[in-house]
Structure 1
Amino acid sequence: MAALSLRQKLEILADAAKYDASCASSGTQRRHSADGRGLGSTEGMGICHSYAPDGRCISLLKILLTNYCQFDCAFCINRKSSSVRRARFTVDEVVRLTLGFYRRNYIEGLFLSSGIIRSPDYTMEQLILVAKALREEHHFRGYIHLKTIPDASGDLIHQAGLYADRLSINIELPRAEALAALAPEKDARRIEGSMGELGARIAEAKEARRRFVHAPRFAPAGQSTQMIVGADPSDDRTILASAQRLYRRHALRRVYYSAFSPIPDPSPNLPSRAPPLVREHRLYQADWMLRFYGFETHDLESVMPAGHLPLAIDPKLAWALANRHLFPVDVNRADKAMLLRVPGLGPKVVGRILAARRHQSLRWADVARLAASPRKLRPWISTPDWRPTALLDREGLEALATPPRQGDLFPAASTF
Structure 2
Amino acid sequence: MAGMTLQRKLAILSDAAKYDASCASSGTEKRDSRAGGIGSTEGAGICHAYTPDGRCVSLLKILMTNFCIFDCAYCVNRVSSNVERARFSVEEVVSLTLEFYRRNYIEGLFLSSGIIRSPDATMADMVRIAKTLRLDHGFKGYIHLKTIPDASPELLDEAGLYADRLSINIELPQDDSIRELAPEKRPETIRTAMGRVHLTREASRDRSHTGKRPAKFAPAGQSTQMIVGADRANDAAILTTASRLYTGYGLKRVYYSAFSPIPDASSILPLVKPPLMREHRLYQADWLMRFYGFEVDEIAGVAPSGNLDLDMDPKLAWALANRADFPLDVNRAPREMLLRVPGFGTKTVNRILGARRHAVLRYDDLARLGAVMKKARSFVSVPGWSPKGLTDSADLRARFAPPAEQLQLI
Q: State the alpha-carbon separation in 2 of the partners of residues 182 and 175 from structure 1.
A: 11
Report if aligned partners of 2:146, 2:168 keep a CA contact under 8 Å in 1: yes
For 1:127-142, what aligned pairs fall within 5 Å after superposition? 127-142=126-141
Residue 231 to residue 134, structure 1, CA distance change in 2 (3 Å): same
Secondary structure of the residue aligned to 1:303 is: coil
Structure-2 residue corresponding to 1:36: none
Report if aligned partners of 2:345, 2:371 keep a CA contact under 8 Å in 1: no
Structure-2 residue corresponding to 1:286: 285
Secondary structure of the residue aligned to 1:53 is: coil
Report if aligned partners of 1:328, 1:391 keep a CA contact under 8 Å in 2: no
CA deviation after TM superposition for structure 1 residue 207, in Å: 2.9
For 1:13-412, what aligned pairs fall within 5 Å after superposition? 13-23=13-23, 47-208=46-207, 212=211, 214-392=213-391, 397-402=397-402
1:268-294 C-alpha deviation (Å, 9 max, x unpaired): 111111111110001111111111110
Secondary structure of the residue aligned to 1:18 is: helix
Report if aligned partners of 2:24, 2:51 keep a CA contact under 8 Å in 1: no
Q: State the alpha-carbon separation in 1 of the partners of residues 361 and 205 from structure 2.
A: 41
TM-score, normalisation: structure 2: 0.90
Q: Which amino acid aligns with 2:16?
A: A
Residue 347 to residue 136, structure 1, CA distance change in 2 (3 Å): same
Residue 403 to residue 145, structure 1, CA distance change in 2 (3 Å): farther
Residue 407 to residue 154, structure 1, CA distance change in 2 (3 Å): farther
Residue 361 to residue 259, structure 1, CA distance change in 2 (3 Å): same
CA deviation after TM superposition for structure 1 residue 198, in Å: 0.7
CA deviation after TM superposition for structure 1 residue 53, in Å: 1.8
Percent identical pairs in the alignment equals 61
Q: Which amino acid aligns with 2:188?
A: R
Q: State the alpha-carbon separation in 2 of the partners of residues 264 and 384 from structure 1.
A: 61
Q: State the alpha-carbon separation in 2 of the partners of residues 249 and 96 from structure 1.
A: 38
Unmatched segments (≥5 aa) in structure 2: 26-44
CA deviation after TM superposition for structure 1 residue 47, in Å: 2.8
Residue 292 to residue 103, structure 1, CA distance change in 2 (3 Å): same
Structure-2 residue corresponding to 1:414: none
Report if aligned partners of 1:24, 1:256 keep a CA contact under 8 Å in 2: no
1:361-404 C-alpha deviation (Å, 9 max, x unpaired): 21112211101523222111111121111235788655532279
Structure-2 residue corresponding to 1:7: 7
Q: Which amino acid aligns with 2:322?
A: N
Structure-1 residue corresponding to 2:29: none
Secondary structure of the residue aligned to 2:144 is: strand
CA deviation after TM superposition for structure 1 residue 333, in Å: 0.7
Runs (4+) of structure 1 moved beyond 4 Å? Answer: 211-214, 392-399, 403-409
Q: Which amino acid aligns with 1:237?
A: A
Unmatched segments (≥5 aa) in structure 1: 26-45, 410-416
1:30-82 C-alpha deviation (Å, 9 max, x unpaired): xxxxxxxxxxxxxxxx9322221212121111000000001000000000010
Q: Which amino acid aligns with 1:11?
A: A
Residue 195 to residue 256, structure 1, CA distance change in 2 (3 Å): same
Secondary structure of the residue aligned to 1:83 is: coil
Report if aligned partners of 1:49, 1:57 keep a CA contact under 8 Å in 2: yes
Q: State the alpha-carbon separation in 2 of the partners of residues 257 and 375 from structure 1.
A: 29
CA deviation after TM superposition for structure 1 residue 123, in Å: 0.7
Q: State the alpha-carbon separation in 1 of the partners of residues 378 and 395 from structure 2.
A: 11
Q: Which amino acid aligns with 1:131?
A: A
TM-score, normalisation: structure 1: 0.89
Report if aligned partners of 1:237, 1:304 keep a CA contact under 8 Å in 2: no
Q: What RMSD in Å do the two structures reach over aligned CA positions?
A: 2.3
Aligned length: 389
Deviates more, 1:399-408 or 1:200-209: 399-408
Secondary structure of the residue aligned to 1:63 is: strand
Q: Which amino acid aligns with 2:120?
A: D
Residue 332 to residue 111, structure 1, CA distance change in 2 (3 Å): same
Report if aligned partners of 2:235, 2:300 keep a CA contact under 8 Å in 1: no
Q: State the alpha-carbon separation in 2 of the partners of residues 153 and 169 from structure 1.
A: 14
Report if aligned partners of 2:390, 2:396 keep a CA contact under 8 Å in 1: no
